[in-house]
């Protein structure tokens, strides 16, 4: 089913939701296959209730099989049974297995996460075939439980699967639109296409509130600095995703007010409990109210929530006391990657999974050493540090998620339908409509819309060879000559001089920037172009705060993205063919903390 078009788009999403709900309510026939303990085909019975299925499976599974369900990791290769020497070597180095088939046979893992660097993500048909191969491996080994198959398809800055998948606006772009229905539709389209490729679990949306402009890891991945906006759009995206795939709101208890990247160190949140309730809590509360399947933990200290300073992922007061008991969340709690230094700073790779389970976490994502982590949990049960009843609690939640999302009843996908769904014309048109509502005009000294004679010359320069070329291609059809001259994120003095020389022959310069706050070379490029005397249109293609790090250009625009739809929307604004209706979802502040443009600012012309 395709998704698109205003009222029809809502109808399509509604129908999809009804179909999913009906599929869950009907009697599900589950054939449980297993190689474990030499039992072969264990049983074949029907389940019309997720509770019955969970109770039966937990009672049948061995401890090793139950512990395996707690883990989600990556596996190298473009096929589950790959014999490619490079993939085999990489898998042996990472997990001591040859491929996904052996990963399930050895560890009985509950899920797999896809990455390009693991060579999982080729074209949509290949991804769907890989997904089917993984499901076959899952149901043919151990307890015969289908797998969760996930990725981080947030869109915008974090987009794991690219073209021909429909490119949708990221979180901050959607915040610039502020439209609940557009945010829900974007998630619905993304979920529909992920499901067509066999992915059933997306680590999105980001529920963090962007209250710290210096945040190095969240930034434009957040919808806004306004907790109300983030709460509304988080709920919208949870609703949209859940028509098709499980969603995970992240990163609890809130990663928006950090100036440290938890991938490389352990951040600390310094605000108090009352501020947390006003700022960080609303989006997670909204996600829970919207029925979110899963919540991902953050690797950070939050002393006002746990005075011990234990990272939230390993904190019982946060994961159980706060999330389970106070907020009433009984879905799957999944960790952020356990390879990240934020959680490994003070604990060994054997301690981490045990402490996370003790804290109340259910699923352990990407342990640094799967064998060490797997054995550590088994040893903890053997020693009494963990009880098997505690393991059963998390396994039950994971199995219930798989049952409720239809993964147990229908783990495989129809490969023949993939190309008709992924990147469909209807989805692409809907993505363009959504994107057109996000482009934000920050300032304009009469430069826009361009009033250029036929045959005028425009220089398009700055970051990104693909995006500068793509934007330059928009001009000839409008009777304007355009030259693309990419200079990258760290332009050299020679590149800057070349761009300035080219600007002297141009009537207008459009310079694309990305994160000037941390790029003095880009700042030098922009300043040199402004100083050349040619009218300059500065376009922030990621963070709108770029305008705070330059002298006033002739005009400044924020697109929040470099997708084809963002480029088309930008061209329409440049030529006055459409209004820039986006509004800043965050304050734009300079290096000294002065607010230059308040949240909600935006010019129509």
Task: Just list the catalytic residues.
Answer: 336
The SS3 call for residue 597 is strand
Round to whole Å and give the CA distance between 3 and 164. 16
Structure tokens, 485? 């001259």
Structure tokens, 284? 């997670």
Structure tokens, 132? 């089917």
Is residue 422 within 8 A of residue 193, CB to CB? The reply is yes
The SS3 call for residue 180 is helix
The SS3 call for residue 368 is coil
Residue whose entry in the numeric block shows the structure tokens 């934020």: 342
The SS3 call for residue 382 is helix
* Number of helices followed by number of strands (H, E) in the chain: 22, 20
Q: Which residues contact 370 (CB under 8 A, 6 or more apart)?
A: 71, 73, 94, 95, 107, 109
Pairing of strands 71-73, 111-113: parallel
| DSSP notation for 239-307 | HHHTTTSEEEEEEET--TT-SS-TTTS--B--S-HHHHHHHTHHHHHHHHHTT-SEEEE---B-TTT-T
Where are the alpha helices (H) located in 41-179, listed in sequence order? 50-60, 63-69, 85-95, 100-107, 124-139, 171-177
Is residue 567 within 8 A of residue 474, CB to CB? The reply is yes
Structure tokens, 510? 């459009």
Residue whose entry in the numeric block shows the structure tokens 């299925």: 53
CA distances (Å), origin 304, targets 286, 309, 310, 321, 475: 22, 9, 11, 13, 54
The count of C-alpha atoms lying within 13 angstroms of the C-alpha of 595, restricted to the half-sphere facing its C-beta, is 9
Question: Which of 299, 300, 296, 315 is closest to 357 using CA atoms?
Answer: 315
Query: Which residues is 296 bridged to in the sheet?
Result: 250, 334
Is residue 249 within 8 A of residue 205, CB to CB? The reply is yes
The SS3 call for residue 604 is coil
């Amino acid at each position: 089913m395709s998704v698109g078009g205003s009222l029809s788009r809502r109808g399509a999403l509604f129908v999809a939701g009804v179909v999913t709900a009906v599929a869950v309510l009907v009697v599900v026939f589950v054939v449980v296959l297993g190689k474990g303990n030499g039992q072969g085909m264990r049983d074949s019975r029907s389940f019309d209730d997720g509770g019955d299925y969970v109770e039966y499976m937990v009672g049948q599974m061995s401890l090793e099989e139950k512990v395996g369900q707690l883990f989600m990791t990556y596996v190298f290769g473009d096929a589950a049974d790959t014999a490619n020497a490079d993939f085999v070597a990489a898998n042996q180095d990472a997990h001591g297995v040859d491929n996904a088939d052996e990963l399930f046979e050895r560890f009985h893992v509950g899920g797999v996460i896809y990455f390009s660097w693991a060579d999982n993500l080729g074209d949509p048909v290949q991804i769907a075939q890989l997904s089917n191969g993984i499901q076959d491996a899952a149901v043919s080994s151990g307890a015969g439980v289908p797998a969760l198959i996930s990725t981080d398809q947030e869109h915008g800055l974090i987009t794991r699967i690219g073209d021909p998948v429909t490119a949708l606006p990221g979180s901050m772009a959607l915040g610039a639109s502020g439209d609940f229905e557009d945010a829900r539709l974007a998630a619905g389209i993304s979920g529909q296409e992920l499901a067509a490729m066999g992915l059933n679990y997306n680590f999105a949306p980001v529920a963090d509130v962007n209250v710290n402009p210096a945040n190095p890891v969240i930034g434009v991945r957040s919808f806004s600095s306004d907790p109300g906006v983030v709460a509304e759009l988080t709920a919208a995206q949870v609703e949209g995703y859940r028509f098709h795939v499980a969603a995970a709101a992240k990163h609890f208890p809130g990663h928006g007010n950090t100036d440290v990247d938890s991938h490389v160190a352990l951040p600390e949140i310094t605000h108090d409990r009352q501020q947390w309730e006003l700022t960080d809590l609303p989006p997670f509360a909204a996600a829970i109210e919207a029925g979110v399947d899963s919540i991902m933990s953050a690797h950070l200290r939050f002393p006002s929530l746990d005075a011990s300073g234990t990272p939230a992922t390993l904190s019982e007061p946060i994961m159980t006391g706060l999330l389970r008991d106070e907020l009433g969340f009984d879905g799957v709690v999944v960790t952020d990657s356990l390879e990240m230094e934020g959680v490994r700073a003070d604990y060994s790779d054997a301690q981490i999974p045990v402490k996370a389970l003790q804290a109340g976490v259910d699923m352990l994502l990407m342990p640094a050493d799967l064998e060490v982590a797997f054995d550590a949990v088994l040893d903890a049960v053997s020693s009494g540090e963990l009880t098997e009843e505690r393991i059963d609690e998390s396994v039950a939640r994971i199995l219930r998620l798989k049952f409720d999302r239809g993964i147990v009843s229908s783990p495989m996908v129809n490969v023949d339908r993939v190309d008709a769904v992924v990147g469909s014309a209807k989805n692409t048109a809907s993505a363009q409509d959504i994107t057109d509502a996000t482009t934000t005009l920050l300032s304009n000294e009469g430069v826009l819309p361009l009033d250029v004679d036929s045959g005028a010359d425009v220089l398009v320069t700055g970051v990104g060879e693909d995006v500068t070329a793509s934007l330059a291609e928009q001009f000839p059809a409008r009777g304007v000559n355009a030259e693309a001259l990419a200079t990258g994120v760290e332009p050299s003095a020679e590149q800057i001089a070349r761009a300035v020389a080219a600007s002297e022959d141009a009537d207008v310069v459009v310079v694309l920037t990305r994160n000037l706050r941390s790029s003095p070379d880009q700042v030098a490029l922009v300043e040199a172009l402004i100083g050349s005397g040619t009218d300059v249109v500065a376009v922030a293609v990621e963070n709108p705060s770029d305008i705070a790090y330059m002298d006033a250009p002739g005009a400044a625009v924020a697109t929040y993205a470099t997708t084809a739809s963002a480029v088309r929307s930008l061209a329409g604004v440049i030529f006055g063919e459409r209004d820039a209706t986006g509004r800043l979802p965050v304050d734009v502040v300079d290096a000294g903390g002065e607010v230059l443009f308040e949240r909600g600012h935006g010019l129509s012309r």
